[in-house]
Amino acid sequence: MGLRIVCVYTVDSLDPIHPLPDGSCIPYGISVIATVLELAHHTVRLLVLSGRSNLHQTLRTVEEEFQPHLFCLTSVATQFPLIAETARLVKSADPHTYVALGGPHASLNPEECLKHGYFDAVCVGEGEKAVLELASCIEAGRRPSGISNFFFRHPDSERIERNSTSPFNEDLDDLPFIDREMWRPWIARPDAGSVIFVGRGCPHRCSYCSNHALSKLASGKYLRFRSVENVLAEIASICENPEVKEIYLEVETIFAVPSYAFRLFEALAELNAGREEPVEFGINVALTSALMKRTEVVGRLVRAMRSANVLSLNVGLESGSERIRNEVLRRPRYSNEEWIRFSKEAKRHGIRVVPYVMIGLPEETREDWNETLRVLRLSEPDNLRLAVFYPYPGTDLHRRVLGDGSGAVQVIDGSLERRRPVLILPGFSRRRIMLEYVLCHYKVFKDKWSLSTRLLWVVRAFLSEYAGYRFKRMLRWLTRNTPLGRLAAQGPGL
């Protein structure tokens, strides 16, 4: 018969009805959990909540209409207050409803999460197999215990049961294609934007990212890819929808294993050769000096991407200061000259380059930021994604910031995560950081974009940080419904 299970995902959004803008926002972790539970003949309902959701009414309706046995929640650090409040309300309505929590924040801080008293279990690491065993225990009327990858809170004794983690699943092909239909009611434009997850893990150990901590949670190979055949099969299933024109291939860096990248790009080129209208792909890459020294390989990779119709690259620059990248962020080593050379090579082949950049980093000075602006201008990206540094609990940089007293760390309004500075930096004040945040696109694209487009970016950045709810709603409407607004939101050529 199976259980009735509610899977909950939270997100920052001004729209409580359709909190996800398009299909590219579907998260993989909770999606695959929901899918494996469905395939095990449990009845699954999805909730996507935001700070603007009416939690009491939404949860009361679900409790009355669905009468769930199990809630599966997921959380990153800044969403944890909303997830904890959700769990509290679930337990208040029915103390017997079982509540399990997973996700990066839970995996790195399981005991802290359990101490809140609203969660019965916390999943540490990958949970696709563990959650099936958990559901089986609940369905059989047994108190869950002894399940790998789970920490349990036993209310009768206030004891926390800590179980070991199973090795990382190295065969990603045994995971099902996620059920995208369950997300459709929560998406404003469900046929726009599609994401396929190509692999798990990362070869790098950047200090600001959770990968270096998550890789220590279990034994076995952390960096893994699905087979090319498995990826192509899911692409084919998505492309049954004629509205799908673009697919983003989600992976930490496809350059981690060049031989795999070549096989994937060759297969994508063959797929598109048989289509009347080729699918456009985007993907994430990270540079290393070791790779950039192999000039012939880099050239072949860029040409292979273009042949596969990979027309957009997200690249983690993070900072144009080599000192900050190497000593603070612990990024893979590459020089600014190598970054500029790669960016121009990709653009020469008609591939758009969009770097990720952070501001307000530990030890960052105004000179470091000016160097970032200089490098960005020289590399001539098509757009950039800027964020204010936020130290996530469980990362090495979070511990470093707390240890050396370089700035107060606090969970601010979740909608402002990575948009407001939380560190006090000598010579680079919070006010100055916010000014540079607002003016960044104006400065970087001074000779590339029109004055009106750059000014719209300034207004967009300013309103996103300082304006009230109604102004933000107006900004979103302008972005979605006017040609100039769409141009400012994306940047020319995107």
Q: Which residues contact 455 (CB under 8 A, 6 or more apart)?
A: 442
Distance CA 209, CA 239 (A): 33
Q: Which two tokens mark 414?
A: 């979740």
**What pLDDT is attached to residue 466?**
67
**What pLDDT is attached to residue 404?**
58
> Cα–Cα distances in Å, from 41 out to 184, 217, 225, 367, 488?
21, 30, 28, 58, 46
Q: Which two tokens mark 343?
A: 């960016």
Q: Which amino acid is at 456?
A: L
φ, ψ for residue 392 (rounded to 5)? -80, 130
pTM of the model: 0.88
**What pLDDT is attached to residue 413?**
46
**What pLDDT is attached to residue 246?**
94
Q: Which amino acid is at 338?
A: E
Q: Which amino acid is at 240?
A: E
Scanning 140-257, the segments in alpha helix (DSSP H) are 211-214, 228-238
Half-sphere CA count of 205, side-chain side, radius 13 A: 7
**What pLDDT is attached to residue 414?**
45
**What pLDDT is attached to residue 467?**
58
Per-residue pLDDT of the chain (494 residues; tens, 9 = 90+): 799 999 999 998 878 899 999 999 999 999 999 999 999 999 999 999 998 899 999 999 999 999 999 999 999 888 999 999 999 999 999 999 999 999 999 999 999 999 999 999 999 999 999 999 999 999 999 999 999 999 999 887 778 999 999 999 999 999 999 999 999 999 999 888 899 999 999 999 999 998 989 999 999 999 999 999 999 999 999 999 888 999 999 999 999 999 999 999 999 999 999 898 999 999 999 999 999 999 999 999 999 999 999 999 999 999 999 999 999 999 999 999 999 999 999 999 999 999 999 999 999 999 999 999 999 999 999 999 999 998 888 889 988 887 755 555 544 444 556 778 888 888 899 899 999 999 999 999 998 999 999 999 999 888 877 654 445 555 555 555 555 555 555 554 43
Residues in the chain: 494
381, containing H or E segment: none
**What pLDDT is attached to residue 455?**
94
**What pLDDT is attached to residue 179?**
96
Nearest CA to 490 out of 482, 479, 481 is that of: 479
Cβ 114 vs Cβ 122: under 8 Å: yes
Distance CA 200, CA 197 (A): 8
393, containing H or E segment: none
Query: Using CB atoms within 10 A of its CB, is residue 410 exposed (0-12), middle (13-18) or buried (19+)?
Result: exposed
Maximum separation of any 2 CA atoms in the chain, in Å:
67
Scanning 109-193, the segments in alpha helix (DSSP H) are 110-114, 128-139
φ, ψ for residue 195 (rounded to 5)? -125, 135
Distance CA 383, CA 376 (A): 10
Scanning 96-140, the segments in alpha helix (DSSP H) are 104-108, 110-114, 128-139
Reduced to 3 states (helix: H, G, I; strand: E, B; else coil), residue 52 is coil
**What pLDDT is attached to residue 391?**
86
**What pLDDT is attached to residue 494?**
39
254, containing H or E segment: none
Cβ 419 vs Cβ 387: under 8 Å: yes
Q: Is the dihedral of CA 160, 166, 172, 173 positive or negative?
A: negative
Q: Which amino acid is at 70?
A: L
Cβ 81 vs Cβ 107: under 8 Å: no
Distance CA 314, CA 331 (A): 15
Cβ 429 vs Cβ 246: under 8 Å: no
Q: Which residues contact 158 (CB under 8 A, 6 or more apart)?
A: none
Q: Is the dihedral of CA 133, 146, 45, 15 positive or negative?
A: negative
**What pLDDT is attached to residue 318?**
96
Nearest CA to 255 out of 215, 330, 204 is that of: 204
Q: What is the DSSP letter of 41?
A: T
Distance CA 195, CA 279 (A): 13
Q: Which two tokens mark 160?
A: 């926390």
* Residue listed under structure tokens 């337990």: 91
